[in-house]
A and B are shown apart, each in its own frame.
Chain A
Amino acid sequence: MLRIKNLSAGYGRLKVLRNISLHVNQGEIVTLIGANGAGKTTLLSTVCGLLRATNGEIYLQGRDISRQRPERIVASGCSLVPEGRQVFAAMSVRDNLLLGAFVRYRAAKNKRRSMDLKPVYQLFPVLKEREAQMAGTLSGGEQQMLAMGRALMAQPALIMMDEPSTGLAPMIVKNIFSIIRQLKDKGNTVLLIEQNARAALRIADRGYVMENGKIIVQGPAADLLANQDVQRAYLGQNVDNK
C-alpha cells in the first residue's frame, strides 16, 4: 500500500527526517510512536505533499507520489486526518463532509452526494444528528469524528491520522480508538501517529518507534508492547534491569 524508502525532509536548512524507511500493507493498522519533536507530523506532511522531500521515494499503491502536489496525492487515495482536527468551524457538518469528497466531484450531482454520506453517518450516527450544525459548535470528540468522516469521504486507500487522541477525555479516546479498529475491520488501511503509545500499540498490527528523525525500533505491535526499551521510554513503566 504505502512504501517509503530512504526519505529525508525538513524545513529550510533544518533536517528533520533522516533516511526513513517504512511500509504499510493493505488492511493493516500501523502505528508510528515517538516523543514530541521526533518528526512524526513532518513525516505525514511529507507523505501528503504539504512538504517537499529532499531525498528518497514514497510509493502509494506502486506509484511514486513523492514529487506530487497535495490535491493529486489525495486524489490518488491518501487522506489525512490532521493534528488538532482542523474542522471548518464556520461550516455545517454536512458541508465539512462534502468537502472531504472534494477531489471526487468535478460536476456534482446532489443525489449521488447524499448517498455517499450514508456510510459515514452509519459509522458516526452523532454526525447525522448534527448534520446542519456548525462544526465549531461540536464537542472535541465529535470534531475528531467529523475530521475522520471527512477523510473517509474521499474513499481513500490509506487513512493517515495525526494524534487523534490529542485533547480528548480518556473515555472519548477509548471510543475513537475502537472506531479506528472498526475501520480496519471494514477493510481500511490506517497509518496512526500517536503519543498515547500504549493505546495505539493495542489496536495496531505493527509499530515503528521514531526518535530524532530516525526509526529506531520496529516490529509487531505486541512485541513493541513487551519491549523493555520501548516500555521505559514511551509507556512510562519502570522496568528493573537486573
Chain B
Amino acid sequence: MRHLKKYLPLAVMALMVTAVQLLTSYTGTAYYLTQLTITAYYGLLITGLCLLMGYAGQLSLGHTGFFAIGGYVSAALTTHDLTACRNDFFITLLNHAHLLISRHDIYGEPLITVKAWPACLAAIAAALLIAFIIGIPVLKLKGHYLAMATMGFGIIIFRIVMASTYFGEADGISDVPAFTLLPGLTVSGDFSYRTQNYYIAWGLILTGMFLLINLIDSRPGRALRAIHGSPEAAEAVGINTARYKLLTFVISAAFAAVAGVFLTHFNGGIGPSEASIMKSVRYVAIIAIGGMASLWGALSMGVILNFLSLRGVFGSYDDAVFGAILVLVMLFAPNGILRLPIWRKLNFRHRDG
C-alpha cells in the first residue's frame, strides 16, 4: 500500500509521457516533442534544486552555474580540435586510452576531439567537484546570505564563459556532436532522432524522480527535513547537518550538470544565456509556484511554464512573466498553487512527492 502510493504517480507519469507522444504522432504535431524534450531537461534541474530548496531548505540562486559547467565542459571537450597538440604527452596518453576520436568538421578538415562519453563524465565530475569545493564554505551561510553567495557563484560562471575564448565568449559553442549513449540510442537534435530523444529525456527524468522519491522517504531524507525545520534541534538529535547539507547540494548540482550535458548535446550547442542569472531566478520561481517541498508540484509547474516559454507564448516578456508569477505566488499562494483551497473545494486531492 505504501509502495503503491509512492510509485503510482511515477507510473501515471510514464503513461502520460507515452500518451503525449502517441497523441502528437497521431495528430501530426510531432514538432512539440522538441520543446517537450528541452522541457524535460530543465525539469531534471528543477527537481534536483527542489530537493535542496524545498526539503533541505537551502536556497540556491547559482544552479545555472552547475548546468553551465556541465554543458560547457562537455561542449568544449567534444568540439575543440586537438590536432595541433596531438604529440603532447597528455594527448597521446588520452589517445592510447581510446578517449579521443578523429572526424571531419563541416568544412572537411580533420578534427581530433575527446569522445562524447568521457567528455560527459568529465563535465559531470567537474560540476560535482566545484559543488563540493564551494559548498563547504557557502553552506555555512543561512537565508538571504546563502542566496547572495550562490548568486555570486552563478555570476562568476556567467562571466567566465562570457570572457574566455575557450568557451566561445558571447557566441557560445556550436557544432556540438551527437552523443551516442548506447548503440542505437543517441542524444541529438537531428530530426530523425526526435521521438527517441523525447523518450531519452523523459526516461532520464523518471529515473531522477525515482531516486529523489526514495531519498526523501529514507533516513537521510528525514534528516534533511529536520535540518529545514530546526538546524539546532537536528544537531541535538545527532544529525551532522553540515555533511547532509553538502551532500544535498552536490546531488542537486549533479542533476543540474546532467541536464546541462544532455541538453547541450541535444541542442548541438550552448550559449551564455544558459548561464544567466535570470535562469536561476526562473527555476526558483517555478519551485515556489510548485509549493517548495513538493517534487511533483515543481516538476509539473516546470513542465507547463517552460513549455509555454519555449513555445514563445510569453513573447519578449518572458523574464517579466516569471518575475510577475513569483510576486503573485508569494502574495496569494505562498504554499504553491497546488495547495490553494480551490482544489479542496473541487474535491481534488493531490499527492506530495
> A residues touching B (Cβ–Cβ < 8 Å)?
48, 50, 69-71, 73-75, 79-80, 82, 86-91, 95, 98-100, 102-103, 105, 108, 147, 150-151, 154
Contact between chains at B230 and A86 (CB < 8 Å): yes
Contact between chains at A154 and B237 (CB < 8 Å): yes
Residues in A whose Cβ lies below 8 Å from that of B226: 88, 91, 99, 102
Contact between chains at B229 and A71 (CB < 8 Å): no
Contact between chains at B236 and A102 (CB < 8 Å): no
Query: Which B residues, 212 to 254, have Cβ-Cβ distances below 8 Å to chain A?
Result: 219, 222-223, 225-226, 228-230, 232-240
Q: A86-B230, A87-B230, A102-B219 are in contact. Are A74 and B237 (CB under 8 A)?
A: yes
Q: How far is the CB of B294 from chain A (nearest CB, A)?
A: 12
Residues in A whose Cβ lies below 8 Å from that of B235: 48, 50, 70-71
Contact between chains at A91 and B229 (CB < 8 Å): yes
| Residue of A71, A91, A95, A98 contacting most chain B CB atoms (<10 Å) | A71
Bound-state CA distance A89–B240 (Å) is 20
Selected from A70, A95, A98, the residue in CB contact (under 8 A) with B238 is A70
Closest to B221 in A: A95
Contact between chains at B219 and A108 (CB < 8 Å): yes
Q: How far is the CB of A24 from chain B (nearest CB, A)?
A: 18
Q: How far is the CB of B219 from chain A (nearest CB, A)?
A: 6
Residues in A whose Cβ lies below 8 Å from that of B230: 86-89
Residues in B whose Cβ lies below 8 Å from that of A151: 236-237
Residues in A whose Cβ lies below 8 Å from that of B238: 70-71, 73-75, 102-103, 154
Q: How far is the CB of B163 from chain A (nearest CB, A)?
A: 39
Bound-state CA distance A80–B238 (Å) is 10
Residues in A whose Cβ lies below 8 Å from that of B228: 90
Residues in A whose Cβ lies below 8 Å from that of B234: 88, 99
Q: How far is the CB of A198 from chain B (nearest CB, A)?
A: 27
Q: How far is the CB of A44 from chain B (nearest CB, A)?
A: 10
Q: A71-B240, A82-B232 are in contact. Are A105 and B219 (CB under 8 A)?
A: yes
Residues in B whose Cβ lies below 8 Å from that of A74: 236-238
| Interface size of B in residues (CB-CB distance below 8 Å) | 18
Selected from A86, A95, A98, A105, the residue in CB contact (under 8 A) with B233 is A86
User: Can you list 26 contacts pairing A with B, beta carbon distance less than 8 Å?
Assistant: A48-B235, A50-B235, A70-B235, A70-B240, A71-B238, A73-B238, A74-B237, A86-B230, A86-B232, A86-B233, A86-B236, A87-B229, A88-B229, A88-B233, A88-B234, A90-B293, A91-B222, A95-B222, A98-B222, A99-B239, A102-B223, A102-B237, A102-B239, A105-B219, A151-B236, A154-B237
A sample of 11 more A-B contacts (CB under 8 A), given A99-B234, A102-B219, A102-B223, is: A70-B236, A70-B240, A71-B238, A74-B238, A91-B229, A99-B226, A102-B226, A102-B238, A103-B238, A151-B236, A151-B237
Closest to A76 in B: B238
Residues in A whose Cβ lies below 8 Å from that of B225: 88, 90-91, 95
Bound-state CA distance A167–B235 (Å) is 23
Bound-state CA distance A150–B222 (Å) is 14
Q: How far is the CB of A101 from chain B (nearest CB, A)?
A: 8
Contact between chains at A90 and B223 (CB < 8 Å): no
Closest to B57 in A: A90
Q: How far is the CB of A77 from chain B (nearest CB, A)?
A: 11
Closest to A103 in B: B238
Residues in B whose Cβ lies below 8 Å from that of A87: 229-230, 233
Q: How far is the CB of B246 from chain A (nearest CB, A)?
A: 14
Contact between chains at B229 and A90 (CB < 8 Å): yes
Q: How far is the CB of A65 from chain B (nearest CB, A)?
A: 13
